[in-house]
A and B are shown apart, each in its own frame.
Chain A
Amino acid sequence: MPRLSYRRALTRALADEMTRDESVVVLGEDIRVAAANVTTGLLKKFGPERVRDTPLSEQAFTSFATGAALAGARPVVEFQIPSLLFLVFEQIVNHAHKFPLMTGGQCAVPVTYLVPGSGSRTGWAGQHSDHPYALFAHVGVTTVVPATPADAYGLLVSAIRCDDPVVVFAPAGALDLREDVAEPAPVPLGRGVVRRSGDDVTVVAVGHLVHDALAVAEELSGQASVEVFDPRTLYPFDFDGLVDSVRRTGRLVVVDDGNRSCGIAGEIIATVVERVRLAAPPRRVTRPDGAVLPFAPALDRAVQPGRDQLTAAIQLTLKDG
């Protein structure tokens, strides 16, 4: 079975969609030379009209993509740095996202914002290490965080085909993964998946943390049966799928590489407890409130959710109630 790397999964998704649909164009900084190692080979194959290297003008090229989408294109905009999304939050939220409603349904804005390397890359410090997916879930922009190469392919394809704006966070912590994939296929937006079945507690893990959760579940397998749920899409969230899991296990822990206050973990827990009577108080493992990742590697790691914290949270939840 062919090995597929996470980055090449993204490359292949872009190439396949550009081949299938002339309206797909890619915009971004340094994409002609694939500085983020994702747009590799696209310029040669599709030419500079559809693979447009941009000046460092994030606000302009993000809204340029909105306009192109209003005129029929399906642009993919690559951002090398997750915090550039702060710079273009206005363009995505106030324009791309609002146009369909504000115009009374006269238009669609099918733009994909791709961040290959979100979260910490170790050593990139305060302004290059954010993981702001919860902001987009909050404003109601479709937000996906693929954990595996197969999902990276499948969710990016679905994002490009979606008639609304979609932000695709490809966590830096997952970019080096490889897996055997027979035939990459689209993965539906808004559908989670149980990565490991268990009976005692449901752990929701976002993005690269799915792999930490699976490792912790394995370590704890002598003591407890841990189910790992990968939501894959954070907005719209597959609450039905998660509730099915939590109804069986009765316990919930969320591990999320976002800040604690108003983070996605808080939303997940709130919605589950609205629908399910849990056997024990739920727990969450997140970045701290207001996290700014410090430069030194030990500090950088200290601010991110760790396996020890997740293990402790699971054990506390199992002990309670």
Chain B
Amino acid sequence: MTGPDPVWLYRTVRLIRRFEERAIELVDAGEIVGGIHPYLGQEGIAAGVCAALAADDLVTGTHRGHGHVLAKGADPARMLAELCGRVTGLNRGRGGSMHAADFGVGVLGANAIVGAAGAILTGAVWERRRRGADVVGATFFGDGAVNEGMLLEAFNLAALWQVPVLFVCENNGYATTMPVAGAVAGTVAGRAAAFGMPSTAVDGQDPERVREASAAAVARMRAGGGPELIEAHTYRFDAHHTFEHRVRLDYRPPEEVAEGRSRDPVDIQGARLDPAVRAEVDASVEAVLDAAVDFALAGPHPDPATALDHLYASGLTARTGGG
């Protein structure tokens, strides 16, 4: 990634924002089936964390994971093709929105099971370092995940074995519809403290603040420190999932939504740029996404005869289900 480059940060949050908006259009158009979990409003976290990582550092994301994959450097066109289920997608149309992965840029996958990816990333970083690579990792999860035992076990293992993993809690206030107050006893920071893990709270709506906190944590980890936690306070601008666009669920008061949306990471970072530069970035992001949509929709659909491809890495062939 880059150093403290305000233009890169802006470009990244803007790219994620517009990617999500274009993706929602494609959901509405029926080109993306199954819907998506929009990352709208949380873009500053993926951008700020990934700005602090190097190209060969490793990342795992969540079901709300498009931002993580894009910020780490995946090609938006192949990402969008994946969402559209095309063979030109990152995962050849086998993963979709919730499993998008790009091992080539260190994204070991979005993961659709809440709290599951932390231990996976810890193992991956450990093995890369055992092989002599000076890598660190960042694993993203929501406030809902801090009540998952397997994530807390991963905190323990990473801290015990001093594996440099940045545990990034994107606290958007809700686990699906459940507010934090109804789900979390104690605090997120308290969970880190219980395992002797340093933690930093940060304004997740400000990409620069996220980048600063992440860069400081990554620097400590590269200097030999163990895992750390960042709790980024944020707000999800849109639905938990696009099904909420059709089925209205009443769990967030309109005033709260309005207030949450008033602190927009795209505007916060955009205000730091010369208006002409900002306009230039906006235009280039639009061009990238125009091309991405064209690429995605032009990609071939997978042949049903290949539905079992990649099931086994060993070459094992599964029996088919027919009579």
Are A and B associated in one complex?
yes
A-side residues, CB < 8 A to B, are 25, 49, 54-55, 57, 59-73, 75, 90-91, 94-95, 99-110, 140, 142, 162-164, 190, 236
Tell me the complex Cα distance, A70–B122, Å.
Answer: 11
CB-nearest residue of chain B relative to A66?
B120
Contact indicator B312/A64 (Cβ below 8 Å): no
Residues of A within 8 A of B122 (CB): 60, 64, 67
Q: Hey, which chain A residues are within 8 Å of B131, CB to CB?
A: 71-72
Chain A minimum-CB-distance residue to B139: A67
Please indicate the chain B residues that have their CB under 8 angstroms from the CB of A73 in the complex.
Answer: 123, 127, 130
> By the criterion CB–CB under 8 Å, are A95 and B120 in contact?
yes
> Chain A residue with minimal CB distance to B153?
A60
Contacts A59-B149, A71-B128, A95-B113; A64 near B119 (Cβ below 8 A): yes
On chain A, the residues within 8 Å of B314 by CB distance are 108, 142, 162-164
Find out whether the CB atom of A49 lies under 8 angstroms from the CB atom of B94: no
Distance in angstroms from A220 CB to nearest chain B CB is 33
Asked whether, in the complex, the Cβ of B156 is within 8 Å of the Cβ of A64, the reply is no
Task: List 20 contacting pairs A-B, 8 Å CB cutoff, sorted by A.
Answer: A55-B156, A63-B120, A63-B123, A64-B123, A67-B119, A67-B123, A68-B126, A70-B124, A71-B58, A71-B131, A100-B311, A101-B310, A103-B103, A103-B310, A104-B89, A105-B309, A106-B91, A110-B313, A140-B311, A163-B312
Contact between A63 and B119, CB atoms less than 8 A apart = yes
State whether the Cβ of B80 lies closer than 8 Å to any Cβ in chain A: no
Check: B108 CB closer than 8 A to any chain A CB.
Answer: yes
Q: Which residues of B contact A70 (CB under 8 A)?
A: 103, 108, 120, 123-124
Considering the chains assembled together, what is the distance between the CA atoms of A103 and B157 in angstroms? 26
Inter-chain contact B310/A55, CB cutoff 8 Å: no
* Cβ-defined partner of B127 (8 Å) among A62, A67, A104: A67
Q: Are B103 and A63 in contact (CB under 8 A)?
A: no
Other than A71-B127, A102-B109, A106-B102, give 4 A-B pairs with Cβ distance below 8 A. A95-B111, A102-B101, A163-B313, A190-B316
Whether B121 and A101, one on each chain, are in contact in the complex, defined by CB atoms closer than 8 angstroms, is no
Name which residue of chain A comes closest to B135, CB basis: A71
Are A103 and B95 in contact (CB-based, < 8 A)?
yes
Given the complex of chains A and B, what is the CA–CA distance between A102 and B113 in angstroms? 13
Task: Tell whether A49 pairs with B130 under 8 Å between CB atoms, given A104-B95, A105-B309.
Answer: yes
- Asked whether B146 is an interface residue with its Cβ less than 8 Å from the other chain, the reply is no
Contact assessment for A140 and B318 in the assembled complex, using a CB-CB cutoff below 8 Å: yes
Residue interface bits B88-104, CB-to-A below 8 A is 1, else 0: 01111111000101110
Shortest CB–CB separation between residue B222 and chain A, in angstroms?
18
CA distance A247 to B123 in the complex (A): 48
Q: Is the CB of A102 within 8 A of B124?
A: no
**Contacting residues, chain B, for A100 (C-beta < 8 A):** 310-313
B contact residues around A91 at 8 Å (CB): 116, 119, 150
The reply on B154 being an interface residue by CB < 8 A is: yes
- Scoring B residues 293 to 313 as 1 if CB is less than 8 Å from chain A, else 0, what string do you get? 000000000000000011111
The answer to whether A99 and B316 have CB atoms under 8 Å apart is: no
Docked-complex contact B127 and A106, CB < 8 angstroms = no
Q: Across the interface, which residues of A come within 8 angstroms of B194, CB to CB?
A: none
Q: Which of B119, B156, B313 contacts A108 (CB 8 A)?
A: B313
Confirm or deny: B160 has a beta carbon within 8 angstroms of a beta carbon on chain A. Answer: yes
Q: How far is the CA of A25 from the CA of B127 in the complex (A)?
A: 10
The list of the 4 closest CB pairs from A to B, nearest first, reads: A67-B123, A104-B92, A60-B153, A108-B313
Q: Which of the residues A25, A103, A140 comes within 8 Å of B109, measured between beta carbons?
A: A103
Of A90, A94, A102, A108, which is in contact with the most chain B CB atoms at under 10 Å from its CB? A102
Shortest beta-carbon distance, B86 to chain A, in Å? Answer: 11
Shortest CB–CB separation between residue A63 and chain B, in angstroms? 4
Contact across chains for A63 and B116 when beta carbons are under 8 A apart: yes
Known: A68-B126, A90-B113. A104 touches B156 (CB 8 A): no
Does the CB pair B160–A55 fall under 8 Å? yes
A55 B91 Cβ-Cβ under 8 A: no
Q: How far is the CB of B185 from chain A (nearest CB, A)?
A: 21
Q: B107-143: which residues lie under 8 A (CB-CB) from chain A?
A: 108-109, 111, 113, 116, 119-128, 130-131
Give, as a whole number of angstroms, the nearest-CB distance from B104 to chain A.
8
Q: Kindly identify which residue among B101, B123, B149 contacts A68, using a CB–CB cutoff of 8 Å.
A: B123
For A103, the chain B residues whose CB sits under 8 A away are 91, 94-95, 99, 101, 103, 109, 310
B124 x A142 contact (CB < 8 A): no
Chain B residues whose C-beta falls within 8 Å of the C-beta of A163 in the assembled complex: 312-315
Could you tell me which residues of chain B, from 241 to 258, have a CB within 8 Å of some CB in chain A? none
Which interface residue of A59, A60, A73, A164 has the most chain B CB atoms within 10 A? A60
**Which residues on A sit within 8 Å (CB–CB) of B316?**
142, 164, 190, 236
A141 to B235 CA separation, bound complex (whole angstroms): 40
Given known A-B contacts A63-B150, A104-B89, A109 and B130 have beta carbons under 8 A apart: no
Looking at the assembled complex, report how far the CB atom of B117 sits from the nearest CB atom of chain A, in whole angstroms.
Answer: 8
Bound together, the chains give a CA A62 to CA B153 distance in angstroms of 11
- Which one of B94, B126, B149, B310 contacts A67 once the chains associate, using CB atoms below 8 Å? B126
**A-side contacts of B160, CB under 8 Å:** 55
- Inter-subunit contact B124/A71 (CB<8 Å): yes
Docked Cα-Cα span, A67 to B124, in Å, equals: 4
Q: Which residues of B contact A63 (CB under 8 A)?
A: 116, 119-120, 123, 150, 154
**Distance to closest chain A CB from B124 (angstroms):** 4
Q: Closest approach, in angstroms, between the C-beta of A129 and any C-beta of chain B? A: 25
Give A111 Cβ to nearest chain B Cβ, in Å: 10
Q: Min CB distance, A188 to chain B, in Å?
A: 12
Instruction: Give the contacts of B63-91 with A (CB-CB under 8 A).
Output: 89-91
Query: Closest Cβ of chain A: how far from B106's Cβ, in Å?
Result: 10
